[in-house]
């Protein structure tokens, strides 16, 4: 499959909802990814987990990331993901969070190469779409586990590898060691995506040039800042106006409320206010003012008071939105209303 740009929007837990992915595609991401989906949750028919398989045609190309530790369960989940309309099944061997690693999933699997390869082989045999793997360098600082297991994952059926060259122990501290990415590129004959510290066009170009990676993955830098994606792909370099910022935030809020339901979206959206309104775009107290407002409608109204011209920008953005064309498995109707 062809990816139209060399920028991939990262899968981020608690962030990569459909509205976030759609926005990423509009601003130039060549591939967007769902937040990681529990294979156990899919197996047991958990409604919240199944809701992650709400996919829109306009998101394509889209990867859905799954995590787990049992090859059979992962394979069945991958079939569900393909049936839901995903273009790529991505396997998480990189999550450093304790509640994931303690189950034998995520970054832990880099220390169990036999099981990791068994998972990739089972998933690749189960689906017809490409299977990719996202991983960290290993569990401990200085680990080179990714270099040992990477070629074996390709032999097992991985069509592409994404490397975030921090250890699980590091979490998001320190810097990503992309010399390790360059070594992985030399070891495998599939595209490698470089993840970690991709914060600007100059940084992305430097990483691509020094590692030989096929693409870069943008994560935290895009939170509340889709213009960063546009800057990295070379589509624009100017700073967004207040009106643009508010219009994009309100559109994001409305799309998220439609997806999650108003009640869930109200709490979910609060972290985004700081991400959008920070970076010197609005005074710091303004974000705090929004956090105490009771409803999303109240937040919208306050935003429009701060930037009245945003209404016109928003109207244009909504006119440009494609008709909603979503694919879902035969799921409980409550998922459509937010679970």
SS3 state of residue 92: strand
Residue 304 lies in a domain: yes
Give yes or no: residues 255 and 128 share one domain: no
Q: Which of 233, 250, 275 is where one domain is finished? A: 233
How many CB atoms lie under 10 A from the CB of residue 175? 10
pTM, rounded to two decimals: 0.92
Residue 75 lies in a domain: yes
Residue 338 lies in a domain: no
313-332 CB burial, b ≥16 within 10 A, e <16? bbeebeeeeeeeebeeeeee
What does the DSSP assignment read for 70-81?
Answer: -HHHHHHHHHHH
Place of tokens 């079939």: 79
Determine the structural domain holding residue 258 and report its residue range.
Answer: 242-323
Whole-number pLDDT of residue 326:
58
Give yes or no: residues 203 and 247 share one domain: no
Give yes or no: residues 164 and 70 share one domain: yes
Structure-derived torsion over alpha carbons of residues 11, 17, 23, 28, reported in degrees to the nearest 10: 20
DSSP letter for 105, please.
-
Give yes or no: residues 16 and 141 share one domain: yes
Report residue 217 as tokens.
Answer: 């993955």
Say if strands 326-327 and 55-56 run parallel, antiparallel, or are unpaired.
antiparallel
Give yes or no: residues 212 and 94 share one domain: yes
Residue 334 lies in a domain: no
Per-residue pLDDT of the chain (339 residues; tens, 9 = 90+): 899 999 999 999 999 999 999 999 999 999 999 999 988 888 888 888 888 888 888 899 999 999 999 999 999 999 999 999 999 999 999 999 988 988 899 999 999 999 999 999 999 999 999 999 999 999 999 999 999 999 999 999 999 999 999 999 999 999 999 999 999 999 999 999 999 999 999 999 999 999 999 999 999 999 999 999 999 999 998 999 999 999 999 999 999 999 899 999 999 999 999 999 998 999 989 999 999 999 999 999 999 999 999 999 999 999 988 766 555 444 433 333 333
Whole-number pLDDT of residue 1:
87
CATH code for the domain in which residue 11 is found: 3.20.20.70
What's the structural domain count of the chain? 2
Q: Which of 181, 216, 233 is where one domain is finished? A: 233
Residue 173 lies in a domain: yes
Catalytic positions are 95
Report residue 208 as tokens.
Answer: 């691509």
Report residue 111 as tokens.
Answer: 């220390």
Compute the distance between CA of residue 262 and CA of residue 300 in angstroms, rounded to an integer: 13
**10 — phi, psi (to 5°)?**
-65, 150
Residue 331 lies in a domain: no
Give yes or no: residues 100 and 197 share one domain: yes
Residue 329 lies in a domain: no
């Amino acid at each position: 499959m062809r990816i139209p740009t060399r920028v991939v929007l990262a899968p981020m837990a608690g962030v990569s909802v459909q509205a976030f992915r759609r926005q990423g595609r509009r601003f130039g991401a060549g591939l967007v990814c769902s937040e990681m989906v529990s294979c156990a949750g899919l197996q047991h028919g958990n409604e919240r987990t199944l809701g992650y398989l709400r996919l829109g045609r306009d998101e394509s190309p889209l990867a859905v990331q799954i995590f787990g530790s049992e090859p059979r369960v992962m394979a069945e989940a991958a079939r569900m993901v393909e049936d839901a309309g995903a273009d790529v099944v991505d396997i998480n061997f990189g999550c450093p969070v304790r509640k994931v690693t303690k189950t034998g999933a995520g970054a832990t699997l880099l220390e169990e190469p036999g099981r990791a390869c068994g998972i990739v082989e089972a998933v690749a045999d189960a689906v017809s779409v490409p299977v990719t793997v996202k991983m960290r360098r290993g569990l401990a600082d200085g680990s080179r586990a990714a270099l040992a297991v990477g070629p074996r994952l390709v032999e097992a059926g991985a069509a592409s590898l994404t490397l975030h060259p921090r250890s699980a122990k590091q979490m998001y501290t320190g810097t990503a060691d992309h010399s390790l990415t360059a070594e992985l590129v030399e070891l495998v004959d599939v595209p490698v995506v470089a993840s970690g510290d991709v914060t600007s066009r100059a940084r992305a170009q430097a990483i691509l040039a020094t590692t030989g990676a096929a693409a870069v993955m943008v994560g935290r830098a895009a939170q509340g800042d889709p213009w960063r994606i546009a800057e990295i792909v070379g589509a624009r370099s100017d700073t967004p106006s207040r009106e643009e910022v508010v219009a994009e935030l309100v559109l994001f809020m409305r799309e998220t409320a439609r997806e999650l339901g108003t009640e869930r979206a109200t709490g979910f959206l609060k972290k985004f206010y700081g991400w959008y309104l920070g970076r010197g775009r609005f005074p710091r107290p303004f974000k705090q003012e929004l956090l105490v407002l009771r409803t999303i409608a109240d937040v919208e109204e306050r935003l429009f008071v701060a930037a009245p011209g945003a209404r016109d920008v928003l109207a244009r953005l909504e006119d440009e939105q494609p008709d909603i064309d979503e694919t879902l498995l035969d799921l409980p109707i409550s998922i459509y209303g937010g679970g």
